Each structure stands twice: as C-alpha cells, then as structure tokens.
C-alpha cells in the first residue's frame, strides 16, 4: 500500500470494554512498532516486531495490553478491560530492517468513557 | 493525532523567516537522532536525521545541528512556509538501525502570514 494504514481511525470504548486496533504496515516492511501518544505529549514506545516475532514488549504499560503479528504483516494491538488512562492516540510504524526511517500511520484515537 | 500540541511550547514565526526549534536530549549514549513533523490528525513524518559522529546535516530547507557536549539538538527551517505549521519532535536512540525511539515533548510551530 501507499503507507501505513490503521483502523479504526477513532474508537470510543466504555470502561471495562476490550478493544482491538489494527495496523497494516507498508508492504515488505519487516519491522513494526506500536507507540502510544497521550494528548500534548510525544509518542512513547510500546512494542516492536520483526516479522512475526515480538522482540521487545517492554513498553506495554500493563498485562492488559497485548500485541500480535501472526503472519508477519498485519498487527493488532489489543487492550483488555480498558481504563480511562488508556485514552490516547495509538500509532503504528513500519520500516525496512536495518534502517531507522520509520513510517507512521495516522493513528487510532482511543477514548475511554 | 488530533489536538497534538495542545499544551506544548509554541514558536511563532513570520512567513519567510527562518525557524529554529531546539531539543535537549537525555541519554548521553544516544548516537542517532531524528526530527519528526506531526500535523494535526496525522502521524509523525520523518524530516531529517543525524548520527552522533556528525555536527551538522542539511536537507532541503532544513538543517539539523547536534551539540553532544551539552546534549542539544536543533532544527533550522529556512524560509518558513505556512505548510511548515505543525508540532516538531526530536527523537533519540542508542543505536543506529534500532527501533526504540525516545521522543521529546515537542514544539508547536505557528507560521504567521
């Protein structure tokens, strides 16, 4: 595709609800990252995949957060039992392995009410 | 994402003037730095990067300066245009080719007509 695609663009969840956020990286990009961006802040690293392998999940804030990339392309970030503090924009980025230029999607704005 | 930069430091510049955006980074071990531009409702967009073995790097209308002694990074935009209005983030990482960027808090650039 032309760029990194994320869906949905906006998501409103009731507190306690589970949500799933999808990321379609640029075709051929081995590396995929998830970042969380709170209002007025810079993005913060959540997790990193190289193909289907999740090599780093140190940024996931709690065990309610889970990410997967089962076939090495599309990735899903799942948040269980959402809390108000989970409200943020969730950004996905992809890159070729061995490069540092990451291409970001537009993000999914999650609002927990 | 939307409303990026709601409470960020703001730099207002007259159209046609040069802009200088500053960033202090935290990790003396960081050896690769990137500037990203984020427009409202969009993901961060790569502008320019620099490795720690360089002091200066120039792109199209943009220049990045790195001062490792004081851990300071700056982005200079020549002949600022209305389309440059956005939030600008610096990001650092400790090894070229890795994925785990640490983003600064960002600066909102407003271009005055």
What mean pLDDT is predicted for residues B61-75?
95
B111 φ/ψ sector (left φ>0, alpha ψ -120 to 50, else beta): beta
B43 shares contact with chain A (CB less than 8 Å)? yes
pLDDT in tens, A45-96: 999 999 999 999 999 999 999 999 999 999 999 999 999 999 999 999 999 8
pLDDT score, position B4: 45
Q: How far apart are CA A36 and CA B87, in angstroms?
A: 16
Is the preceding peptide bond at A8 cis, omega within 30 degrees of 0? yes
Question: Which residue of A56, A59, A91 is in closest CB contact with B43?
Answer: A91
| Beta pairing partners, B23 | B73
B26 shares contact with chain A (CB less than 8 Å)? no
Burial (CB count within 10 angstroms: exposed 0-12, middle 13-18, buried 19+), residue A80:
middle
User: Mapping DSSP to helix (H, G, I), strand (E, B) and coil, where does residue B104 land?
Assistant: coil
With beta carbons less than 8 A apart as the criterion, state whether A49 and A110 touch.
Answer: no
Task: For B52-66, give one letter per residue: b (16+ CB within 10 A) or e.
Answer: beeeeeeeeebbbbb
Partners of A107 on chain B (C-beta within 8 Å) are: 1, 42-43
Partners of A104 on chain B (C-beta within 8 Å) are: 36, 43-45
Name the band, by pLDDT with cuts 50, 70 and 90, for residue A111: very high
What mean pLDDT is predicted for residues B84-106?
84
Partners of A109 on chain B (C-beta within 8 Å) are: 1-2
B42 shares contact with chain A (CB less than 8 Å)? yes
A34 shares contact with chain B (CB less than 8 Å)? no
A30 shares contact with chain B (CB less than 8 Å)? no
Name the band, by pLDDT with cuts 50, 70 and 90, for residue B97: low
DSSP string spanning B8-76?
Answer: S-EEEEETTS-EEEEEE---TT--EEEEEEE-TTS--EEEEEEETT-SEEE-SSEEEEEETTTTEEEEE
Q: Min CA distance, B25 vs chain A (Å)? A: 13
With beta carbons less than 8 A apart as the criterion, state whether B14 and B112 touch.
Answer: yes
Distance of CA B47 to the CA centre of its chain: 8
């Amino acid at each position: 595709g032309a760029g990194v695609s994320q869906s949905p663009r906006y998501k409103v969840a009731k507190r306690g609800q589970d949500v799933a956020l999808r990321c379609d990286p640029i075709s051929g990009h081995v590396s995929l990252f998830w970042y969380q961006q709170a209002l007025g802040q810079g993005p913060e690293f959540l997790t990193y995949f190289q193909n289907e392998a999740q090599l780093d999940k140190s940024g996931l804030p709690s065990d309610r957060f889970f990410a997967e990339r089962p076939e090495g392309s599309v990735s899903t970030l799942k948040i269980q039992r959402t809390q108000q503090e989970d409200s943020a924009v969730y950004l996905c980025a992809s890159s070729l392995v061995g490069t540092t230029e990451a291409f970001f999607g537009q993000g999914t704005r999650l609002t927990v009410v | 994402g939307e409303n990026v930069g709601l409470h960020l430091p703001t730099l207002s510049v007259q159209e046609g003037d040069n802009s200088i955006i500053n960033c202090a980074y935290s990790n003396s071990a960081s050896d690769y730095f990137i500037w990203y531009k984020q427009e409202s409702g969009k993901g961060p967009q790569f502008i320019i990067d620099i490795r720690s073995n360089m002091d200066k790097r120039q792109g199209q209308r943009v220049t990045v300066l790195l001062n490792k002694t004081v851990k300071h990074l700056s982005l200079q935009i020549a002949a600022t245009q209305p389309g440059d209005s956005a939030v600008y983030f610096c990001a650092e990482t400790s090894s070229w080719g890795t994925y785990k960027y640490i983003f600064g808090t960002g600066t909102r650039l407003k271009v005055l007509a």
